Amino acid sequence: MLYSRTIGTGPDLVLLHGWGFNSELFNDLVDRYKNQYRITMIDLPGHGRSDNVSGGLDEWCDEIIKNLPDNPILLGWSLGGLFAIKIATKIAISKLILVASTPNFVQTNDWPYGIDENNFRQFSDALEFNLSKGLKRFVSLQTQDKTQLKTLNQSIDKFPASTKALNQGLEILLTTDLVDEFNQLKIPIKVILGNHDTLVPYRISNWYDKAKINTQALNTGHLPFLHKDFTL
């Protein structure tokens, strides 16, 4: 069973977080928008307060879908973006918002917009060696707001991800290619990128632009929604 929490009034907006974190990451964003949207936050399988779920991308998506309201706006950050894209191929959603995300995270001969797989594995190995310390260092590079950092660090310590979920999530990040599925979507899509992001290279904006996707770039790294200029 997955943990979810709903707050606010307005059109349904669902937030899906990334690898190793939990839905508390979105608390500032929720406070900003709870008077405009009815917001549902979900801890991914094995993350935060959610139980582990066997399987991979499809199985995780099927569990997430059980917690979704009808026809929501679906926002996916980082790994959460892969689930958001896949879910959009399975059920009706009103809009897809990808934040620092991509249909394929890993660079290949046919996909120059990802990052090198070896570099990705080194990054994840360093995080897994001491997850709490690694995630805290990661967020410290994304924001200088001491209040934000304190809140994020507390949530990292309080709601850690399981080892099983971390391994599953990493496998999903490394092996998932949803480019074709993404290109077939017929719903409104918005993409928000950080022009200093090292995990989702900013050059993917060229691909999104060619696909005529509404794309916004902020002067930030991999956590654009912490930036003061972030808007839905």
Predicted confidence at residue 137, as pLDDT, reads 79
Question: Residue 44 is part of a domain; what is its CATH number?
Answer: 3.40.50.1820
Overall number of domains in the chain: 1
Q: Is pLDDT of 144 > 70?
A: no
Give domain status of residue 43, yes or no.
yes
The pTM (predicted TM-score) of the whole model is 0.93
Q: Is pLDDT of 123 > 80?
A: no
Helices (H), the chain: 27-33, 57-65, 79-88, 117-129, 131-140, 146-158, 163-175, 179-183, 204-210
Residue labelled with tokens 């654009």 = 224
**Catalytic choice (23, 50, 78, 155):** 78
Give domain status of residue 94, yes or no.
yes
Q: Which two tokens stand for residue 109?
A: 């001969």
Give domain status of residue 39, yes or no.
yes
Q: pLDDT for 196-232, tens place per residue?
A: 888 898 999 999 999 999 999 999 888 999 888 999 9
Confidence of residue 128 (pLDDT cuts 50, 70, 90): low
Give domain status of residue 50, yes or no.
yes
**Catalytic choice (43, 50, 124, 222):** 222
Q: Which domain holds residue 150?
A: 4-226
Sheet containing 38-42: give its strands across: 4-8, 38-42, 12-16, 73-77, 95-99, 189-194, 214-218
Give domain status of residue 49, yes or no.
yes
Q: What three-state secondary structure class fits 130?
A: coil
**Catalytic choice (17, 155, 197, 205):** 197
d(CA 29, CA 225): 7
Q: Which two tokens stand for residue 71?
A: 């026809």
* Contact by Cβ (8 Å): 106, 117: yes
Q: Is pLDDT of 121 > 70?
A: yes
Q: pLDDT for 164-190, tens place per residue?
A: 998 899 899 999 999 999 999 999 999
Give domain status of residue 35, yes or no.
yes
Q: pLDDT for 10-66, tens place per residue?
A: 999 999 999 989 999 999 999 999 999 999 999 999 999 999 999 999 999 999 999
Is the backbone of residue 157 left (phi > 0), alpha (psi -120 to 50) or beta?
alpha
Give domain status of residue 213, yes or no.
yes
Q: Provide the CA 99 distance to its chain's centre, in angstroms.
A: 7
Is 229 in the active site?
A: no
Is 43 in the active site?
A: no
Predicted confidence at residue 89, as pLDDT, reads 98
Give domain status of residue 48, yes or no.
yes
* Contact by Cβ (8 Å): 21, 217: no
Is 205 in the active site?
A: no
* Contact by Cβ (8 Å): 202, 178: no
Average pLDDT, the chain: 91
Predicted confidence at residue 14, as pLDDT, reads 98
